[in-house]
Amino acid sequence: MLTHLRWACLPVVAIAVIASAGCNTLKMGGARNARQGDWLVDGATNGRERYVNVRVQPPLERVWLYNANAGFGTGSPLLYRDAVIVGNRKGELHAVEIETGRSLGVKNLGEAIEGSLLIRNGVLFATHAWGKYVLTAYDLNAGSMAWRVKGVPFETAPVAVDGSLVAIDVEGNIRSFNIDTGDSLWTTKLGARVTVKASPLLLGGNRMFVVSDKGIGFMFDATTGENIWYTDLEDPVYASPTANGDQILVPTTRGRLHSISSSDASLLWTFDRRNETIRFASPATDGSTVYVGTSSGNLFALDSSTGTVVWQFNGPDAITAAPLITDSHIYIGTMGRMLYGLDRISGHLVWDIKLKGRIKSAMFAKEGELIVLTEPRYVYGFREEAANEDSL
């Protein structure tokens, strides 16, 4: 059950927009165990496949709109015990009731949140792009700080492995912390003048894939910091990679999407648009098909074993956010403020709607519901229309 620390933090409700009440309290009572279907990391899984086998049948209707006061990073919202949780660039954590859009509390951490959030055993971990503190562990159930770290900032998401939290700072250092205390465990430097824009990817066997903005890919043992292999993709990488079994799908800013083997870094295939001005967004995959958007407004469905095009959707606006795959549809957002629902098999447009801002962040879905973030500050709650629900 979700509770407030004080009744004074009840939300202020406007006619069209549910806004946070402005109090600096976020406490979620109850057991620390997550529920089935909760999203505790960006994209629901460590591999960031962004595929959830739930029914979200368009057309959808907007059932609430929440004002989160500031913009968001590229990752998806999280879901923890019926609360949608987002972090913004003002350093605020917002918890929103998924059913109604009511504020369940706001906590200002004081430092900008750029990387995706992570929840483990009821504790939320946030990296900060600048400020006095660069890493925060916040106990959602106690409503208090567990620990904080000062030092070099982080722009990307952390990963949790065994009893540690691992993150990459803006100076190219991989840093490991005790997940319970925040004490430093080890540090590994990627190299001189190495910058990382893409979040690390946690794979089976406690392996962690890291790719620099210049396209140098590294595989590390996330428990020890030992380097396993590295490869040069020869293309800049800014968007986060995705796992697909043994494949690592790496989007680049030079019109190419690379698929490499996680075991030995061998190149499996490259999808090349033959236009180096095109940027690929983070991909999504259901195992057999890879879906990826581009700055030119195209969404491609690719055969995951060969990289050949199965179908493509041609839109008018840049796609910079990762797609979201459900049981029968795929949802994409654009910089032109459009939200599209496509048939997953054919790519045919089924439904669309124009929103209040650009869609630069990944989405979240559970059965019958879709949560979308837009710039400069909004969280949308969509639900299947009543006629769709009645047809079940």
- For residue 2, is pLDDT > 80? no
Q: Is the residue at 236 inside a domain?
A: no
CA–CA separation, 224 and 387 (whole Å)? 54
Q: Is the residue at 277 inside a domain?
A: yes
Q: Is the residue at 371 inside a domain?
A: yes
Q: Is the residue at 181 inside a domain?
A: no
Q: Is the residue at 276 inside a domain?
A: yes
Clarify whether residues 347 and 317 are in a common domain: no
Tally of structural domains, the chain: 2
Residue 284's CATH number: 2.40.128.630
Q: What type of residue sits at position 291?
A: Y
Last residue in a domain, options 286, 321, 356: 321
Name which residue leads in pLDDT, 353 or 386. 353
Clarify whether residues 387 and 290 are in a common domain: no
Q: Is the residue at 233 inside a domain?
A: no
Angle at 174 between CA 173 and CA 179, to 5 degrees: 135
Instruction: Write down the pTM of the prediction.
Output: 0.92
Average pLDDT, the chain: 92
Give residue 40's pLDDT band: very low, low, confident or very high (50, 70, 90). very high
Last residue in a domain, options 321, 356, 373: 321
Clarify whether residues 12 and 79 are in a common domain: yes
Clarify whether residues 75 and 102 are in a common domain: yes
Any idea how long the chain is?
Answer: 392
What are the tens digits of pLDDT across the range 49-89? Answer: 999 999 999 999 999 999 999 999 999 999 999 999 999 99
Clarify whether residues 288 and 343 are in a common domain: no
Give residue 238's pLDDT band: very low, low, confident or very high (50, 70, 90). very high
Clarify whether residues 14 and 84 are in a common domain: yes
Clarify whether residues 275 and 338 are in a common domain: no
State how beta strands 60-67 and 18-19 pair: parallel
Clarify whether residues 308 and 354 are in a common domain: no
Q: Is the residue at 82 inside a domain?
A: yes
CA–CA separation, 261 and 31 (whole Å)? 40
Clarify whether residues 355 and 299 are in a common domain: no
- For residue 227, is pLDDT > 70? yes
Give residue 18's pLDDT band: very low, low, confident or very high (50, 70, 90). low
Last residue in a domain, options 321, 353, 383: 321
Annotate 71-107 with b (16+ C-beta within 10 A) or e (fewer). Answer: bbbbbbbbbbbbbbbbbbbbbbbbbbbbeebbbbbbb
Clarify whether residues 313 and 339 are in a common domain: no
Clarify whether residues 97 and 46 are in a common domain: yes
What is the SS3 assignment for 302? Answer: strand
Domain residues for the domain of 287 are: 241-321
What are the tens digits of pLDDT across the range 158-194? Answer: 999 999 999 999 999 999 999 999 999 999 999 888 9
Clarify whether residues 294 and 340 are in a common domain: no
* Tokens coding 299: 């969404």
Give residue 388's pLDDT.
61
Q: Is the residue at 224 inside a domain?
A: no
What are the tens digits of pLDDT across the range 311-343? Answer: 999 999 999 999 999 999 999 999 999 999 999
Task: Give the contacts of 45 (CB within 8 A, at least 6 positions apart).
Answer: none
Assess contact for 251 and 50: CB atoms under 8 A: no
Give residue 21's pLDDT.
47
